[in-house]
Amino acid sequence: MNYLTADEIEARLDRLASENPGLCSKIPPVPLFTAPKDPADAPPGVPGRTLRILKIGLPAAPGKTKTPVLITGGLHAREWAPPDALVSFCERLVKEGLGPAPQRKPRPLRYPLLVVPDRPMPLPSMPVPAPLVKAIFEELDLYVVPLCNPDGRVYSQKQPTGGVDFARWRKNRARTRDTLPCPPDKYGLDQSVGTDLNRNIDVDFDIDQFYSRDFYDEGWVHTAKDPCGTPIPQPPLTSVMDVDGESYHGDNPFSEAETQVLKNLIDNVNPTYMADCHAYGPTILHSWGTLDIQSTAPEKNFRNPSWDGQRSNTGYGEYVPPDLAATAENIAGQMSWCIELMKRGYPPSPSSAGAYEVQVSAQLYAGAGIADYLMSRQYTVPVPPDFRIDVVPPARYPFTIECGSGRENGFWPLRSTQFPKIERELHWGLWGFLKMAAAPHATIPFRAGP
Ligand SMILES: [Zn+2]
């Protein structure tokens, strides 16, 4: 069995929306945009794809406001597992979560026993309890974009030919300012096309202005300033990747049709919680992606011009108010705990090898992603002389889930044998995430059983 194509993902989401009116809708109902295509991918005149955004939830009870939540996946083309897992997550929630119309009573979902190759114990059969399903439908407006980079996925799923490994493709397929081809990279790919959609945001877009020169030159920032890649004068550190053209941040912030859609969605929906699903980890990351966080110096922040050109991992950390930082870490911890709960039954073992590790994004490498855009929107505009910032409530909680692992084939887990476990991990990370969004103070009785 193979990974879903972009066409198959779109068809599955369209079917889910049309079969469940009122519960799951495609927004907006007309195509959002025509993605600018590389002529090599589509002849002129062929319309581009549209992003499918599903809105899942029951109508709000009178006098009640629902909490908006955003779940995204597939920004990076080569990360094949998350979009498939998000499609199945939406289908499970909508098809199994509520009984038939018109009563539509929330009911528990059940994951059957799953035998995992090379693992002594199968994953136990586990229910998602009805109270959680009910809370998700009644308390949340869920916006899900399982595939944010359809053009990139089409390219990434092409059969390798002539020494070109298309599967490695990370960016979208739109043109950039570079009109000439780049020299082929080590996978035979021409990086003059495409923008890394998870770098195309405004927080640290001007790399030279935002970070200190040394910090960039030492290879800590995983963002290319030029389509063909930005050479790092000093050898890259072992903890970071090469900054080649695959991480090109685009010609301008939000220059890409795909990121414009996501920006508009975030601006209009104003989600309190966000989970952006990537591969691979296994890790659960919370903001910031720029630099590690601190909670004592509000003047050390991404908007303070006094720090321009000086931000590095010495003497600087992005300010996050202490209560917000603690809550974000707690939610990420609950997500990780929920994955362990699913894997081992109840009670979970407190520390287990291979568990999803909770980290600040910047502990992986520096570079703001789309989750950080949501993070950035909640802060006050700092004023001189001290340029302190604070949060305008409600606080926002964006996360990045890196699912799967290098031991499970990294970006391309085998679909029939390795993917089912990773799919289940991502689902349970999301159940934990939605539990914290929908019913943060409730006790939900998870119980493993037949
Ligand atoms: Zn990614």
Does residue 280 contact residue 411 with C-beta atoms inside 8 Å? yes
- How many Å lie between the centroid of ligand 1 and the Cα of residue 78? 8
- How many Å lie between the centroid of ligand 1 and the Cα of residue 306? 31
- How many Å lie between the centroid of ligand 1 and the Cα of residue 296? 31
- How many Å lie between the centroid of ligand 1 and the Cα of residue 211? 22
Alpha-carbon distance values, 334 to 284, 341, 358, 359, 433 (Å): 10, 10, 10, 13, 7
- The CB density around residue 130, as the number of other CB atoms within 10 Å, is 16
- How many Å lie between the centroid of ligand 1 and the Cα of residue 446? 30
- How many Å lie between the centroid of ligand 1 and the Cα of residue 74? 7
- Beta strand 67-73 pairing with 273-278: parallel
Does residue 17 contact residue 28 with C-beta atoms inside 8 Å? no
Displacement of CA 444 from its chain's centroid (Å): 25
- What count of Cα atoms within 13 Å lies in the side-chain half-sphere of residue 328? 29
- How many Å lie between the centroid of ligand 1 and the Cα of residue 402? 7
Tokens of 101: 């119309």
- How many Å lie between the centroid of ligand 1 and the Cα of residue 92? 24
List the domains of the chain with CATH numbers. 6-438 (3.40.630.10)
- How many Å lie between the centroid of ligand 1 and the Cα of residue 403? 10
Spatial separation of the C-alpha atoms in residues 224 and 430, rounded to whole Å: 31
Tokens of 211: 């970070």
- How many Å lie between the centroid of ligand 1 and the Cα of residue 364? 12
- How many Å lie between the centroid of ligand 1 and the Cα of residue 369? 9
Alpha-carbon distance values, 86 to 99, 147, 169, 358 (Å): 21, 9, 20, 21
- pLDDT tens, N- to C-terminus, the chain (450 residues): 599 999 999 999 999 999 998 888 877 534 434 444 455 555 555 556 778 999 999 999 999 999 999 999 999 999 999 999 999 999 999 999 987 777 788 888 999 999 988 777 888 899 999 999 999 999 999 999 999 999 899 999 998 888 899 999 999 988 888 888 899 988 999 999 999 999 999 999 999 999 999 999 888 899 999 999 887 776 555 444 457 899 999 999 999 989 998 999 999 999 999 999 999 999 999 999 999 999 999 999 999 999 999 999 999 999 999 999 999 999 999 999 999 888 876 555 555 567 899 999 999 889 999 999 999 999 999 999 999 999 999 999 999 999 999 999 999 999 999 999 999 999 999 999 999 999 998 887 776 655
Spatial separation of the C-alpha atoms in residues 282 and 280, rounded to whole Å: 6
- How many Å lie between the centroid of ligand 1 and the Cα of residue 147? 12
Does residue 385 contact residue 80 with C-beta atoms inside 8 Å? no
Contacts 24+ apart (CB under 8 A), 221-224: 221/365, 221/366, 221/367, 222/247, 222/365, 222/366, 222/367, 223/196, 223/199, 223/247, 223/249, 223/366, 223/367, 224/196, 224/248, 224/249
Whether the bond between 28 and the residue before it is cis, its omega within 30 degrees of 0, is: yes
Tokens of 41: 């991918």
Instruction: Show Cβ contacts of residue 145 under 8 Å, excluding neighbours closer than 6 positions.
Output: 51, 52, 53, 54, 70, 71, 72, 73, 262, 265
Q: Would you state the pLDDT for residue 259?
A: 92
Tokens of 226: 């030029």
- How many Å lie between the centroid of ligand 1 and the Cα of residue 76? 5
- How many Å lie between the centroid of ligand 1 and the Cα of residue 49? 21
- How many Å lie between the centroid of ligand 1 and the Cα of residue 165? 18
H/E element, 344: helix 322-344
Catalogue the E-assigned strands of 18-154: 24-27, 53-56, 67-73, 109-111, 126-128, 140-145
- How many Å lie between the centroid of ligand 1 and the Cα of residue 269? 23
- How many Å lie between the centroid of ligand 1 and the Cα of residue 19? 31
- How many Å lie between the centroid of ligand 1 and the Cα of residue 77? 8
- How many Å lie between the centroid of ligand 1 and the Cα of residue 101? 38
Place of tokens 């679909």: 415
Angle of helix 130-139 relative to helix 419-438, nearest 10 degrees?
Answer: 60
Helices first, then strands: H and E counts in the chain? 11, 12
Q: Would you state the pLDDT for residue 255?
A: 92
- How many Å lie between the centroid of ligand 1 and the Cα of residue 79? 6
- How many Å lie between the centroid of ligand 1 and the Cα of residue 346? 31
DSSP 233: S
- How many Å lie between the centroid of ligand 1 and the Cα of residue 75? 6
CA dihedral 347, 275, 414, 367 (to 10 degrees): -120
Nearest Cα to Cα of residue 201 among 114, 121, 267: 267
- How many Å lie between the centroid of ligand 1 and the Cα of residue 1? 23
